């Protein structure tokens, strides 16, 4: 027989799976309580019985989306051991991100960062933390490449990590805004060239 604890956890998981794309599509500030109750089929009391308030639910939804996305990104990168191939794997992951992100209502980093600024300090801090973490992973790959002699030693890893991350997120924003995944593919082609002409030793 299912225990009360396991049932509670299943309900919480159902809420997260259901509302995460709703927050991404409508914005964390623009999503109303009626949007959440309509999507889940649950009452306000049932939802807030598992989450303290809308702000905490939005934060949990962001974490839920990002955990899945980062898990898939890490899987792409983890297929390779050579730093240059790992950087190319990052580009390859984002080539298919347009269709992939539709399940999440868009890019959680972009939506969460823009929407939560001055609206939800908890969520904004988390988006900032994850942005720094993702950028840090790119820095680590570049540093590893320098140590192995695959990447030029005269480049600044942080500068290039900032450029790569900014170009990726910018192309995602433009692709979603214009409904044209070609924007993303074009930027990934450009980043492949950056790897070959500016990073590769």
Query: What's the whole-number average pLDDT of the chain?
Result: 89
Q: Phi first, then psi: what are they for 182, rounded to 5°?
A: -60, -30
**DSSP letters of 130-188?**
HHHHHHHHHHHHHHHHHHHTSB-TTS-HHHHHHHHHHHHHHHHHHHHHHT-THHHHHHH
**The whole model's pTM is what?**
0.87
Structurally, how many domains does the chain consist of? 1
Whole-angstrom distance, CA of residue 17 vs CA of residue 104: 10
Judge whether 133 lies within some domain: yes
Would 170 be classed as within a structural domain?
yes
CATH number for the domain harbouring residue 168: 1.10.357.10
Q: What confidence tens digit (pLDDT) does each residue in 110-128 have?
A: 888 888 887 888 889 999 9
> Is 64 part of a structural domain of the chain?
yes
41 belongs to a structural domain? no
Using the predicted structure, report yes or no on whether residue 147 has a pLDDT greater than 90. yes
Distance CA 189, CA 20 (A): 31
Q: Which domain holds residue 163?
A: 59-199
The residue count for the chain: 201
């Amino acid at each position: 027989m299912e225990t009360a604890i396991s049932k509670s956890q299943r309900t919480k998981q159902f809420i997260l799976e259901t509302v995460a794309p709703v927050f991404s599509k409508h914005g964390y500030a623009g999503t109303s309580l009626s949007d959440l109750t309509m999507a889940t089929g649950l009452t306000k009391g049932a939802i807030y019985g598992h989450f303290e308030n809308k702000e905490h639910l939005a934060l949990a939804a962001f974490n839920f989306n990002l955990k899945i996305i980062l898990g898939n990104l890490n899987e792409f990168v983890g297929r390779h051991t050579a730093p240059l191939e790992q950087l190319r794997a990052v580009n390859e992951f984002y080539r298919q991100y347009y269709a992939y992100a539709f399940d999440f209502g868009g890019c959680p980093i972009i939506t969460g960062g823009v929407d939560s600024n001055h609206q939800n300090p908890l969520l904004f801090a988390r988006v900032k933390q994850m942005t720094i973490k993702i950028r840090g992973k790119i820095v680590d790959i570049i540093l590893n490449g320098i140590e192995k002699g695959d990447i030029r030693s005269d480049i600044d890893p942080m500068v290039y990590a900032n450029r790569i991350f900014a170009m990726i997120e910018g192309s995602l924003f433009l692709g979603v805004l214009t409904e044209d995944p070609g924007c993303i593919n074009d930027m990934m082609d450009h980043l492949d060239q950056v790897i070959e002409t500016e990073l590769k030793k």
